Structure 1
Amino acid sequence: MCMLPLKITLPVLLAKYVVGETPMDVFNKVYPCRLAFNLVTAGFVWVTPHLMVKHHFPTYYYGLLVLIYGVYQVWLFSMFVTQMAFYARVSDPAFGGTYMTLLNTLTNLGGSWPRTLVLLFVDGLTFKYCSNDTKNVCSNPDLVKVCEDGYGLCHSYVDGYYVLVGICTVIGLLWMGWGRRTIQDLQGRDLTDWKVNANNPKDQK
């Protein structure tokens, strides 16, 4: 809810940058910032337990949390707005909102399935040990129970979250090298290339 004013004002601030022929230029400029913010967020997650004082977080922690989340939302929403501006520019008006809805749906799918896929690998890339039995790797609920029954605790020495942040950041850098050129090529095409040819091939003979 606290981000609602930001989401309302951001499109207004971005309007003059995305109404031209190259709205995706903003996307290309913002993408590295969002990618770098992966490391900022991971660092904040890592430092969070160390900021706890007597089982409570100090007030400034919540301020940092809102600030980091707010900056992330700026990058995220800026990319979203530029994509919508590009879709509005290239959509075939003869098909109304159907064309733009299709492009938007594909965008949402492209942004959703990687999150689910990545979460599936977190446990597999997390490595633990039992505090009172180093041979117990706590890799499943039964081993965790054995550790706890022996009054031990399972500790992570490799956290899959940080491993995946690193892997995804590298993938993002590789994608950026390919994506920038592809985006420039797509938005440089003539608008007629985006029109739907609804004529019957037999009628063209």
Structure 2
Amino acid sequence: MAVLASPFTLIGTLVTGNFVAKRSPLEVYLYGYALRFILSLTGPACVSFLKAQEGVVSTTFYFLILFITIMYSFASECLMFVGVGAFFLNVSSSSIHVAGSYLTLLNTSSNMGGTWHKALTLWLVDRLTWREDCIIPPDAAAGTLCPVKYDGYYVISTALVPVAAVIGLYFAKTLPWLAKLPDSSWKASKR
């Protein structure tokens, strides 16, 4: 899917660049957050549908997943990434003596903030998956497990929806305030 989505991501980045030039970068970021939140709600339904089909993928379902993947990529890699990058560029250019270092620090912090939780989430999915009680015979193939009773993916997906909604509401209140701060608020002091 990533290979098929790549041209759309490139076009989306160009479109987003023009959009950011006309609007506040953090406003564009909020649009991306809202779109990503809405699209993330489709994940459990798609996984559940695929499980019910026993892994057989119809052409219609494939193109639906491709569309969702492209839109999710547009939300996160275009609207959110370009929006926050443009904001960081505005902030770092307000203090030209450290602009390059400041921009690098902000981007590195943003990238770390967007990746650390993935390992924790995947670990929790495994820990929150409950299996039925069963006896695995000694002659069973290596890696044989009891059937899944409750899949941790659905537990995590359900638990994180209100968390993402609260974060989104916080961002909706805080980011416009940050965008309105004068450039002097971001200047590094000379000590």
TM-score where L is the length of structure 1: 0.80
Identify which of structures 1 and 2 has the higher relative contact order when contacts are C-alpha pairs closer than 8 Å and 6+ apart.
2
Runs of 4+ residues over 4 Å off in structure 1: 150-153
Which residue in 1 is equivalent to 2:83? 82
Which residue in 2 is equivalent to 1:72? 72
Consecutive unaligned residues of structure 1, counting only runs of 5 or more, are: 134-145, 201-205
The structure number with the bigger radius of gyration is 1
CA RMSD of aligned residues (A): 2.2
Q: 27, 30, 37: which one pairs with 2:29?
A: 27
Q: Residues of 2 paired with 1:21 and 1:37: CA distance?
A: 23
The percentage of counterpart residues that share the same residue type is: 26
TM-score where L is the length of structure 2: 0.85
User: Which one-letter code corresponds to 1:71 in the other structure?
Assistant: M
Q: 96, 99, 102: which one pairs with 1:99?
A: 102
Q: In the TM superposition, what is the alpha-carbon distance from 1:96 to its structure 2 partner?
A: 3.6
Which residue in 2 is equivalent to 1:112? 115
Which residue in 2 is equivalent to 1:139? none
Q: Does 1:183 find its partner at 2:175?
A: yes
Aligned CA distance change for structure 1 residues 148 and 57 (closer, same or farther; 3 Å): farther
Q: Does 1:170 find its partner at 2:162?
A: yes
Mean CA deviation greater in 157-166 or 56-65? 56-65
Q: 109, 124, 127: which one pairs with 1:124?
A: 127
Q: Could you say what secondary structure the match of 2:115 adopts?
A: helix
Which residue in 1 is equivalent to 2:147? 155
Q: Residues of 2 paired with 1:123 and 1:38: CA distance?
A: 20
Q: Residues of 2 paired with 1:32 and 1:195: CA distance?
A: 30
Q: Decide whether the 8 Å contact of 2:50 with 2:56 is kept in 1.
A: no
**What is the aligned residue count?**
183
Q: Residues of 1 paired with 2:58 and 2:168: CA distance?
A: 38
Mean CA deviation greater in 63-72 or 156-165? 63-72
Aligned CA distance change for structure 1 residues 153 and 22 (closer, same or farther; 3 Å): closer
Mean CA deviation greater in 118-127 or 104-113? 118-127
